[in-house]
């Protein structure tokens, strides 16, 4: 990463640093944000993390004593930090729109130097410095690369390593996706040598489920699963009423689309989640089958070849029917 040392100099010359990441946070957005925050602190400087909405419950443990200021509950505070920052990091997203309309506009209007570190395709031209590498499995891996390339590997400890391990783990389906390379494992080994205990991270993330959460996930697979055998496609969905029935909280269905993809003979899985003002969609696929183009063309989304997201602003039923109508064209 040739820009690493200049980024470190930018950090050292900054008085106010703000770290941002995308709406609907996940393990990689939270992990890369906290990993960078703690690295900046290890260098002897301060920063704040500002996200569009709160951290999901299942990875809340990784915050430890740190605070993530979210725009949903603290818009005035986030606005103040963005306007005052002389350096703003954009982690794990490729365009200001991924922050949501209001926070995205504030980010764009901010006068500070903007640095993007991301691994998604087709980044917008919205920053001053862009580290964009879609071949890398996660933004958290890119943060480790930044630390290593800048000559600061000795600063990595368990506190910095835990969120970065979490980000790599969750964005690779626990290291099962083709985006994982030998370099990924080399950097994971570095994190383990620094004191990261991978078994603890797996347990805290995946083995701490609420009973209602397990019942909801079981219900979706048992009652809301549809197979389109001709094309090897699995469709799962959940309504607002069903979420309410099982006392849903953010993060309860995280990774469930991968369970649908794991069904024998299935090559593409789609998960449709009804919300108050839109239907959120997750797409997954295997091998050479791409889902990002379908999402970008039809569902206001995009992402990676085998993992993409999108949104629809018609009813859940209409959204699923639209997806089915597109299946012959794309798959």
Q: What is the pLDDT of residues 238-270, one digit of tens each?
A: 999 999 999 999 889 999 999 999 999 999 999
Q: pLDDT tens-digit profile of 6-61?
A: 999 999 999 999 999 999 999 999 999 999 999 999 999 999 999 999 999 999 99
Classify 201 as helix, strand or coil. Answer: helix
Domain boundaries, the chain: 4-206, 211-330
pTM of the model: 0.91
Q: Cα(285)–Cα(290) distance, rounded to whole angstroms?
A: 7
Domain 211-330 has CATH 3.40.50.300: no
Q: Are strands 129-132 and 225-228 parallel, antiparallel or unpaired?
A: unpaired
Q: Can you list the positions of beta strands (E) in the chain? A: 17-21, 48-51, 68-70, 87-91, 113-118, 129-132, 225-228, 233-238, 268-274, 279-285, 302-303, 307-312
Superfamily for 4-206? inorganic pyrophosphatase (n-terminal core) (3.90.1640.10)
């Amino acid at each position: 990463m040739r820009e690493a040392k200049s980024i470190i100099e930018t950090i050292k010359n900054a008085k106010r640093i703000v770290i941002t990441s995308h709406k609907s946070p996940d393990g990689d957005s939270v992990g890369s944000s906290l990993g960078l925050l703690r690295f900046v602190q290890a260098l002897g400087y301060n920063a704040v993390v500002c996200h569009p909405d709160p951290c999901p419950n299942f990875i809340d443990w990784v915050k430890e004593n740190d605070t993530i200021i979210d725009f949903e509950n603290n818009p005035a505070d986030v606005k103040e930090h963005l306007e005052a920052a002389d350096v703003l990091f954009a982690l794990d997203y490729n365009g200001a729109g991924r922050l949501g309309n209001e926070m995205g506009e504030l980010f764009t209007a901010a006068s500070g130097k903007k640095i993007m570190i991301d691994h998604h395709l087709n980044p917008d031209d919205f920053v001053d410095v862009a580290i964009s590498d879609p071949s890398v499995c996660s933004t958290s891996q890119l943060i480790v690369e930044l630390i290593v390339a800048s000559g600061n590997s000795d600063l990595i400890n368990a506190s910095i390593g835990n969120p970065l391990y979490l980000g790599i783990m969750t964005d690779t389906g626990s290291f099962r996706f083709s985006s994982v390379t030998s370099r990924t494992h080399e950097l994971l080994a570095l994190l383990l040598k620094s004191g990261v205990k991978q078994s603890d991270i797996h347990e805290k993330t995946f083995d701490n489920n609420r009973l209602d959460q397990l019942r909801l996930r079981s219900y979706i697979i048992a009652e809301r699963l549809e197979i389109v055998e001709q094309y090897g496609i699995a469709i799962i969905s959940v309504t607002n009423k069903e979420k309410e029935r099982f006392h849903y909280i953010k993060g309860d269905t995280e990774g469930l689309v991968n369970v649908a993809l794991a069904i024998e003979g299935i090559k593409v899985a789609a998960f449709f989640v009804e919300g108050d003002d839109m239907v959120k969609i997750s797409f997954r696929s295997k091998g050479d089958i791409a889902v990002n183009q379908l999402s970008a063309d039809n569902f206001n989304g995009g992402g990676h070849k085998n993992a993409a997201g999108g949104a629809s602003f018609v009813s859940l039923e209409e959204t699923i029917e639209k997806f089915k109508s597109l299946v012959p064209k794309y798959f």
